[in-house]
Amino acid sequence: MGAYILITTDMGKVIDVLAAIKAIPEVKSAHGVIGPYDIIAFIEFSDPEALKSIIIDKIQKVPGISRTLTCIAA
């Protein structure tokens, strides 16, 4: 299964957050973008519990992230 994670960062933190996000094994791609979000990442996961763990225990713990929005790919 896969999901897109839309990420808003603190001011001036996009480059640092992007590097940290790309280092997470479940993140298959991540790009800095222009618009209401600063980074869009695509992750792969095996089940809902794995998704929860990736988001809460890995992505949201990256310093400089202020908000995330998860969109599960259908």
Provide the CB-side half-sphere exposure for 26 (13 A, CA): 19
| Tokens found for residue 52 | 């929860």
| Tokens found for residue 40 | 């869009």
Residue that has been written with the tokens 């992505």 in this structure: 59
| Tokens found for residue 38 | 């600063």
Question: How does residue 1 score in pLDDT terms, banded at 50, 70 and 90?
Answer: very high
Q: What is the pLDDT of residues 28-72, one digit of tens each?
A: 999 999 999 999 999 999 999 999 999 999 999 999 999 999 999
Q: What is the pLDDT of residue 39?
A: 98
For the domain covering 2-72, report its CATH number: 3.30.70.920
Q: What is the pLDDT of residues 14-29, one digit of tens each?
A: 999 999 999 999 999 9
User: Do the Cβ atoms of 27 and 55 come closer than 8 Å?
Assistant: no
| Tokens found for residue 7 | 């990420």
Pairwise CA distance, residues 25 & 29, whole Å: 10
Instruction: Provide the whole-model pTM.
Output: 0.94
